[in-house]
Structure 1
């Protein structure tokens, strides 16, 4: 049985969660450069010191926001894949969730547009590997085990698929709002065509 948290611990966790929510809204609307820690604190009637109690600085706060967004998206993708009985249908459902989330103005701007700038490409890329690479690998392994994909070397298959999805994510994040539906449909068509080309023919 987990230990009961003290009122102080509960308050600290609630403050951290509120800071993350406020920062997410700020970063999505104003970008990294246009967001000040004082404004994030003010949004929840907290002090700048409260921000520094939980995060070393603005970069650390931004990284925490990115990681929270990525964890949420990856959980949604796994859930979508698990709802389908056939792994191929599950992979397509996972793809749809990913493309939908990349069209979301918050996830799209914070993770795909602001992330490489605020964190630096190396750190941002490492976060993408941390959250997405293993998931892509898992989905490909499942497709191989079910006989949908040939037993090709997993590492290059995963890396190629990972970068294809990354290209789609960046394109959707950068697409103007009126064009997002069209760009999403085009990338979905292209990606499913590539997957279908590698699919093992069924008797």
Structure 2
């Protein structure tokens, strides 16, 4: 009697084989994304070919097309990788057992430092708006950054560090400011100097709106 396919696939050896296939597929995809990040950061979108990405990842071009339907899809995966790296770093800072004000300052400094990272700078800031289009790029920035800014503002308000401003619109205004600051850093001939000035300017603005202990008690 022939064993039904569903029963065969439920056997431990079938599950193990499927798991190995999944692991192999994931490692192949990760190798392609790592390769794309390195090459796009070094040569830019126009200067990088799919053949080069596959070769650096040590896979065939057919394997690349198994995971991505074209060059822009590979770029968007690289974009996601560098943005996710920054997002996770800031999320970790926002979870630290420190006063909310200190967490906010640490997160700001981490973001400014990220704007000096060659991969983030070129892929997320230089190439992203061009390859993805301005509207799609801004939507992506909203996805990666808006929630972090919103959380940070709420923590500061709950701690009595800031007045009870409208969180949603304030978060969007801050996101616009930080996107502009990141662009200034990325396009400057002296990015380290501009990054230091951005940090100084934003910290100064935050100090201006920070409540004093007396004001916090009055609220």
Pair in the same fold by TM > 0.5 = yes
- TM-score, normalization by structure 1: 0.93
Q: Distance in 1 between matches of 2:53 and 2:84?
A: 22
Deviation, 1:106, is 0.8
Matched, 1:39 2:57: no
Q: Is the 8 A contact 1:20 1:64 kept in 2?
A: yes
Deviation, 1:64, is 0.9
Deviation, 1:122, is 1.2
Deviation, 1:78, is 1.5
Unaligned segments of structure 1, at least 5 residues: none
Structural mapping, 1:83-102, within 5 Å: 83-102=96-115
Q: Corresponding residue for 2:73? A: 60
Matched, 1:184 2:199: no
Structural mapping, 1:1-203, within 5 Å: 6-176=19-189, 179-203=190-214
Higher radius of gyration, 1 or 2 = 2
SS in 1 for 2:48: coil
RMSD: 1.4
SS in 2 for 1:95: helix
Q: Is the 8 A contact 1:105 1:173 kept in 2?
A: no
**1:36-94 residue CA offsets vs partner (Å, 9 max, x unmatched):** 11110011222211111011111111111111111110110121233251000000000
**1:121-166 residue CA offsets vs partner (Å, 9 max, x unmatched):** 1111111011101111111111111111111111221111111111
Q: Distance in 1 between matches of 2:149 and 2:58?
A: 40
Q: Distance in 2 between matches of 1:151 and 1:44?
A: 50
